[in-house]
Amino acid sequence: MRYFMRLAFNGTPFFGWQIQPKDISVQEVIENALTLLLMRPDEDGQRQRIAITGCGRTDTGVHARDFTAHFDYTEELDENRRIQLVNKLNSFLPKEIVIFNIVPVADDAHARFDALDRTYRYYVNIRKDAFNFPYAHRVFEKLNVDKMNEAASLLLKNEDFTSFSKVHTQVNNMRCHVTHAQWVERDGQLVFEITANRFLRNMVRAIVGTLLLVGKGKLSVQDFQDIIEQKDRCKAGDSAPAHALFLEKVRYN
């Protein structure tokens, strides 16, 4: 049977979601815990590993407030067993990972491919803050938010985001359908929210870094459009730091 797992994680100590050859990832930590709790050892004391598939990848240091993954298990887990499993997982897992619930789904349901869209938020401090600085990028220059939003609106009118993607990524195309992109100021912070059907590797951070150049007056709104059309990562700005980026929502039917 297939199960969807809803969770959240603080990405600070991890090298992203995806399993890495040498570095610790969120996926590896959860798979280890699931395997330990659900799989009985064989005659050699080995457990068959439970693999989980996430709704997407996150870069090193990026956080997720709402993340979905799926896994397959040979036995049916009724509601009581699922509640117990969630509680046990939360006691086994490090404090940076929390499991909210586990629910049965159709055998062909897929955490990644069935997602309708994903929403990210990037947090920028425009004044000194003694508390939220681990999760916000401090900018000291005055930013023109109106120009940043004018440039951000162009994301909804374009679909090829090669200029904002890491090079040498293994994807079939660079096309994404952005349905929302906006900066909002509140309580000494600027928050950039963007929603799309899919995101390329490093895409949000590259967009934010380039939009900040627009806000600082180093790029015009037309420059931003030209960067998109040139389909060249070297033309865009530097990627904004990872610690201020959160995956906020993954939406399904």
Q: Report, as residue numbers or ranges, the catalytic residues.
A: 59
CA distance 68 to 99: 10
d(CA 214, CA 224): 8
Spatial CA neighbour of 125 closest among 138, 109, 107, 108 = 138
CA angle 78, 82, 85 (to 5 degrees): 140
Name the 3-class secondary structure at 223: helix
Distance CA 224, CA 216 (A): 13
> At which residue do the structure tokens 């064989």 appear?
42
CA separation for the pair 46, 174 (Å, rounded):
41
d(CA 68, CA 60): 18
